[in-house]
Structure 1
C-alpha cells in the first residue's frame, strides 16, 4: 500500500500491484476467455442424438424396416472364452457368404463394416459373436470386411481403413455408409445403431476402460461411422501414420475442416467393453505429424493410395456364387489380406483408385459453386489449437 499526502492532514493510499499479481490477473482473464470459446466450440462440435429410425409415425420411417424396440436392450457382453467360428456360424444361420445380412424389408442404409486386423483372432471371434446378433436386430443390410495386414511389421490402421473402403466398393458400389471398427471393442447396447448421418458418427462414447466417460469432444476413434459422400469429401483417413495413435485424431480434424459435427448416442447407449490386451506405445512423431494435418489432407488419403501402394494378397470368399462352402469363416466375414508399401512398379492399378479422386473433385465442385476447395500445402497448427482439440484448454 502506498500513501500520498494531499491537503492538510488528508492522505490518500493506493494498493501496490506487483508484476506477478498483474501477470496472474491477465492470465486469468485470458484463460477465462479461451475457456468460454472452447466451450462454445464444443457445444457446436458435439451433439447427442439417436438416428431418425426411432422416430414414429413419419413418412420416412414407414418406408423402411420397422424395429422392435423391445428387443434392443443392454446386454452382458462376453469378453473372454471366445467361441469357435463354427459355433458363431451355428448361431447366425441368417448370414450369407461374405458376412452379409440382408433383411426381408427395406433397410435404411447399406453398411460396409470395416475392421483393421492383424494377429487378434481371439478378439475377432468375440467381436463377430457380438456384432452379428446385434446387427440382425437392427435390420441393417451390412457386410463385415476384415482387412488383414500381412506385411510390413509396423501396423498402419489408417491405410487399412482406406483400403477397406476402396475394396468394399469394388465388391458392391451400393454401400452408402462406412463403419470403421476396432477389433477389441464390443458394443453393449443393441440400440447403438450402426448407421451414418450427415455428420461424423462417433459410436464408442463410453468405454469401460475410461469408466464409461467420453475422453474428449473431438474423439472419433474406436468405432466411427461416416457416409460415403463425406468420406470421399475429406479424402478418407491419412496413410502416413505407422504404429499406434493419431490417425483417428487426424480423421476427426478432417471432418472438422469440412464443417461436420460429431453426433453420438447417449452415454447409456454408446457403451463398449474393451478386450484386455497389451497396449502399443504411441510414437511422438505422430503428434508432430498431426499438427500438420491441414496441409496434407487433400494429398494424403484416398487420393494417394496408388502412390502409397498396396497389394491384395487374397480375398475370401472369392465369390458369392459359391453357395456350397463348408467353411464357417466364409459366412462370418469377407477377409482381405494386403501387403502395404510395395514398389509402385509392381502394381496394376484399377479404375477405382482414380475414381475416388474424381468423385472427390465432383463433390467439391457441387459444394462450392463449381469451384473446388483449395487446401494449403504447408500449414502447422498452433499449440493452442492442438491443446484445444484434445480438450486440454
Structure 2
C-alpha cells in the first residue's frame, strides 16, 4: 500500500501522510530536555515567563486586524481521495490502484487532524486576524456515515483555508418517516439562529465535496449564491432550469424572505426545484460563478429505501407560488429528539411529520 494514502490511528496523520517514528522519537527527546531546563530555571523564572506570555497574548489581541478578502492560505485544487466504488470517475482513472486502507478518517481522527475546532464543530477563526464573516454549514442527513466522514474531513480544510469563522450543523432525521430534506434544513436554520449570529447559511448535500479551495463559501446580500452547479457526475456541466441543488448560500434575510424550504416534498426530488421558484418570486436572483475551478465531486451511494423518488413532486411543484407563504419556515413541524455535540460537528436528531397532502393521498379508498 502506498504511504501517501495510509492513515495510522496509533501515530496520527498529517495531510493524509504517515508520521515518521524517528521524527516522533526526536520530538520526545526535545520535550524531555525542555522540561528539565524549565525545572532548573526555578519558580521565579516560570512566573516571569507566564506573565510575559499573557502580555504577548494581550498585545496580539489588540493588534488583530480583519482577515484579507482573499486568504493567503488558499492552495487551489484539492486532491480528493475516494475509494473507487464510490467514485463516478473511476472508469476514467486508473482502476488498478489498491483500495484505500483506513479511509476516510473516523470522526475522532478528523478531530485530531483539525486541532483548533471547538466542541460542536465550530471554528473561531485564525489566530492572526479577525474573520470577515461567520458561516453555518447545514447538512441534511440520514444513514450516510461514510459520506459524512469524507465530507467533514474536506470541508474543515477548505473553510479554514478561507479564514472563515464557522460551524457545521448536521440535521439527522430519525424514525421511520420518509426522508424530508426541507424540514431538516429549516429546523437546522432555526437552531443556528438561536445559538449564534451567523452572517451566512450554506445548505450542503453530504455527498458533494468542493474540488478547489478558491470556491468561496460566503454569501452575497444581493444574490442567492449557488455554489455547486458543476458536478463530476454530470461531466461538470450545469443542467440549467431552476435547479439550485447540492450547495446553496443564503443570508438570514434571503432565507426568511423565501420562507425557507418547502416541507411538503417527501422522498427524493422536488425541494430544490421548488426553492428555485421561491427565489425567482422574490427580489433576489441566483448567482453562479463560471470560473473553471468551480468543480465538485459527488460521492456514489445506493438508493435509500427511506428516500424513494417522489411520484407527486411535479404536481406539488406546479403549486409552488401558491404554497410559498404557508409552506416552509412558517409551517415547520419537527421535534428535536436530541442535540449531540461532537468536536467535528453538532448533530441535531430530528423527527419529521408527514405533510397533510400525503396523508390525504394515503387515506383515499
TM-score normalised by structure 1 residue count? 0.65
Tell me, which stretches of 5 or more residues in structure 1 are unaligned?
1-61, 318-329, 344-393
Q: In the alignment, what sits opposite 2:343? A: 331
Per-residue displacement from partner, 1:297-322 (whole Å, max 9, x unpaired)?
000000111xxx211111112xxxxx
Rate the CA distance shift 1:132–1:299 in 2: closer, same or farther, 3 A: same
How far the C-alpha of 1:176 sits from its partner, in A, is 2.2
Q: Is residue 2:70 matched to residue 1:64?
A: no
Corresponding residue number in structure 2 for 1:286: 313
- Distance (Å, rounded) in 1 between the aligned partners of 2:323 and 2:242: 19
Q: Which residue of 1 aligns with 2:35?
A: none
**Counterparts in 2 of 1:69 and 1:266: CA distance versus 1, 3 Å:** farther
8 A contact 1:97–1:331 mirrored in 2 = yes
Equivalent residue, structure 1, for 2:210: 187
Q: Tell me which residue corresponds to 1:151.
A: 175
Matched, 1:163 2:187: yes
Against the structure 1 CA distance between its residues 72 and 262, is the aligned structure 2 distance closer, same or farther, given a 3 Å change threshold?
farther
| Mapped pair 1:296 → 2:333 | no
Matched, 1:341 2:353: yes
- Quote the Cα distance in structure 2 between the aligned partners of 1:258 and 1:342: 28
Q: Aligned residue for 1:93? A: 115
Q: 2-side partners of 1:99 and 1:145: how far apart?
A: 8
Structure with larger Rg: 1
Task: Name the counterpart of 1:77.
Answer: 80
- Distance in structure 1 (CA, Å) of the matches to 2:165 and 2:73: 21
Q: Could you list the runs of 5+ residues in structure 2 that have no partner in the other structure?
A: 1-63, 84-102, 356-365
- Taking the TM superposition and a 5 Å limit, the aligned residue runs for 1:218-257 are 218-257=242-281
Q: How does 1:343-362 map to 2 (within 5 A)?
A: none
After superposition, the C-alpha distances for 1:109-159 in whole angstroms (9 at most, x for unaligned) are: 221110000000000000000000110011111100000000233100011
Whole-Å Cα distance in 1 between the matches of residues 65 and 112 of structure 2?
32
Residue 224 of structure 2 corresponds to residue 200 of structure 1 = yes
CA distance in structure 1 between the partners assigned to 2:138 and 2:271 by the alignment: 15
Alpha-carbon separation, structure 2, partners of 1:180 and 1:137? 20
* RMSD after superposition: 1.9
Aligned to 2:14: none
How far apart, CA to CA, are the structure 2 residues paired with 1:64 and 1:186?
28
Q: Name the counterpart of 2:148.
A: 124
